[in-house]
Amino acid sequence: MRSNRKVFACTSLILCLGLFTGCWDRIELDDLALVMASGIDLAEDGQIEATLQIALPTGIPSALQTGAKGARPVLVVSAKGKDGMDALGRLQMQLSRKIFLGHRGIVVFGEKYARQGLDTVLSALLRSPDSRYNSYVLTAYGTTAKEILNTPYQLEQIPAIGLNKIQFGEVSLSFKIDEFLNAVGSSGSAPITGAVRIIKTGSGQRTFTIDKAAVYRENKLVGFLSDKELNAKRWWHGEAAGMRLTVKVEPKTKEFNGTVTADILSGTKMVRTTIKNGRPEASIALKATVTVMGNNTKLDISKVKNMKRVEKKLEEDVRKLFEDTISRSQKWKADIFSFGREVHIEHPLQWKKLKDRWPDIYAEMPVKVKVDIQIERMGRTQAPAHLRQERMR
């Protein structure tokens, strides 16, 4: 009898406990403001201005509904504060839904703010529990993050998705929050992000493009790489395949522009560092195979002599590109090619003596660049078409 009572009591207790279980801290989707992108600027009064691009329910693509006709798919709100978290709190006061950063794919730093340092923003990126470390980081070029997030993008309903897809593609340099933070905390490399700017389309509409790179020294923006210099950095990261090179082979004439265009099929790099008299030196060996896509000269590139001539011109251009990009980064004292890491790996004992002064040492470090390019394919272009016709007559 007693055993039955015990079983009954335990069963009743389990049932009662089951009634009290549940997601007590659950927040319904209808109560969340889904942030797709955020931006930080330096306001004229010295405060931080935070901007959020929030997806509206009618603007979220789905199989059944693609948004109300004529309705704007996003809400862009801004607020000022003493730091990033203060501005975020003031933004929350404007919204009927709780700010949720779990879907944020883009973080944009305004140029003016990036030049004075990112300390408060980095703290917000680290401490916010909703922040995703795989969000892409961008720096605004010649404008503010607020302007970027207010700029429409025709190919996507939500502009932040357009930025995200460009960064995910193979034509732009992309860095995520975790990679950026690791570079900020490293003494052997300099942080770098893609640079986004506003342009006008052929119809005069405003849109954005990511065709430059922003270079940081520690946590401060020091300059921008051009689109050509960006290619050097992409090659360095193993993204050379598909890059297009156009070189001047002959003087321009009435019939020919004198240029040859080639696409890179594969590209590699090899870095070696040495220590001489206590000072580091570096050498780079770049190799690539290319296919000729355009021949705007009178040369028949299928002939070995002409092919070697074009290969030499390609090598000269690539060598100059890397030398100029490295030289520019040395003026900024920003080791964007991570030579410091190579010194650390190959010469760990010497690195202990160099790491505290690395920006100054890097600025004066000799770097030799060697390039080897081979034409592997001709595509459909050898000699210009009208020259081939003349030979057939």
Domains contained in the chain, CATH given: 29-225 (no CATH), 237-384 (3.30.300.210)
Which among 162, 196, 175, 160 is positioned nearest to 36, based on CA atoms?
A: 160
pTM: 0.83
Q: What is the rounded distance in angstroms from the CA atom of residue 258 to the CA atom of residue 210?
A: 30
Angular region, 23: left φ>0, alpha ψ -120 to 50, beta rest: beta
Residue 230 CB coordination number (10 Å): 22
217, 334 in Cβ contact below 8 A? Answer: yes
**What is the DSSP-derived secondary structure letter of residue 30?**
G
State the DSSP H helix or E strand holding residue 210, giving kind and residue range, or none if neither.
strand 206-217
pLDDT tens by residue, the chain, 393 residues: 556 666 556 666 566 555 555 554 556 667 888 999 999 999 999 999 999 999 987 655 554 444 444 557 899 999 998 888 888 889 999 999 999 888 899 999 999 999 998 876 666 666 667 777 889 999 999 999 999 999 999 889 899 999 999 998 867 788 898 888 888 888 888 999 999 999 998 788 899 999 999 999 988 999 999 989 999 998 998 888 989 999 999 998 888 899 999 999 999 999 999 999 999 999 999 999 999 999 999 988 889 999 999 999 999 999 999 999 999 999 999 999 999 999 999 999 999 999 999 999 999 999 999 999 999 987 655 555 555 555 544
